[in-house]
Chain A
């Protein structure tokens, strides 16, 4: 059974500092990995999707890397802003048919002005 772990569970940084969020998964037979952002009591917003054949994806200040063989992904957020405060979740899609995502527990980020 796939297990997805995110460490740390919570992170507090001053504004302007770079953020590094980690995600690990136990079964490397994944099809893709997605990073989501969730604000309190709200739905999820997809940030980046990395196919299993890719090593990284970039969007603006966000960069996500994937090392499938070691079961790890890292989300980098450059020059953090207070508006980046949210919970960040990673999710993996299995190699089998269907889009059944397995989520990690999330990292709660606070960027202090």
Chain B
């Protein structure tokens, strides 16, 4: 059973508009969430994270929102740029990432169209 779900395998957005990538989780013990960006044949790159004590974290064009009651988080990219085109993975862990591995979603491929 998948504990972290990214239900949209792909998303296309016009350059300059907002990209919203969604992620749902089922494990109520998760308390730390991360977003990674991945280009083909490269390792994932850490983008932004949020701990369960917050509901929003912002870093430049990237904002992550966490809705604990709905077990849902989303990544907003504003404005979207062609270089943002990549696969985005949502990940979650227990104990703030302490000694537990990350659990990844299957990823969403974002295409930003110029």
On whether the two chains bind one another, the answer is no
Give B contacts to A, CB under 8 Å.
Answer: none
Residues in A lying within 8 Å of B, measured CB to CB: none
